[in-house]
Amino acid sequence: MSHPVKYSAVLQHEGRLSSQIREMAEVLLLICALVGGLMALMAIHHPALAQEAEESPEPVPVSYVHQDLTDPARARRLLVRIDRAALKACGDMNGLSIPTQELIKHSDCHRESFARTVAALHSPTLSQQANALDPWVGPKS
């Protein structure tokens, strides 16, 4: 009679062992799923890093003469050309939806491109005219 008790103890032990193996397999499967998900996220995020490196807009030439930097009326017209070039450099083009055009007009790219171009010309008259403009409304009152 003691003999069947030993077998039942062994069977219970093997039952616990198989449930432990099953639990380990489930944990390993969960870890593999998490690692796979993280790898997929890293693969998706990688192109965004390339886009961030290419954030600076393509240069768009703006022609001007010396009088554009000294005459206030000509400076205002030059600012309009600089603004159009900044919009174009930041992606504005014909055929875009109005909401997309508005996003580009109000973007950091547009504002920074405009400001960098004005500063690069080292013209007090042009800088004064640019500072008198609200970039989203027009001349400040």
Taking the model in full, what pTM does it have?
A: 0.57
Q: Which domain covers residue 30, as residue numbers?
A: 1-55
Given a cut of 70, whether residue 49 has pLDDT beyond it is no
Predicted confidence (pLDDT) per residue in 131-141, tens digit: 887 655 555 54
HEC-encoded secondary structure of the chain: CHHHHHHHHHHHHHHHHHHHHHHHHHHHHHHHHHHHHHHHHHHHHHHHHHHHHCCCCCCCCCCCCHHHHHCHHHHHHHHHHHHHHHHHHCCCCCCCCHHHHHHHHCCHHHHHHHHHHHHHCCCHHHHHHHHCEECCCEECC
Does the residue 61 lie in any domain? Answer: no
Does the residue 74 lie in any domain? Answer: yes
**Partners of residue 108 on adjacent β-strands:** none
The token duo for 131 is 């500072």
Query: Do 101 and 50 have their domain in common?
Result: no
Query: Do 38 and 96 have their domain in common?
Result: no
Query: Do 87 and 119 have their domain in common?
Result: yes
pLDDT of residue 43: 63
Number of independent structural domains in the chain? 2
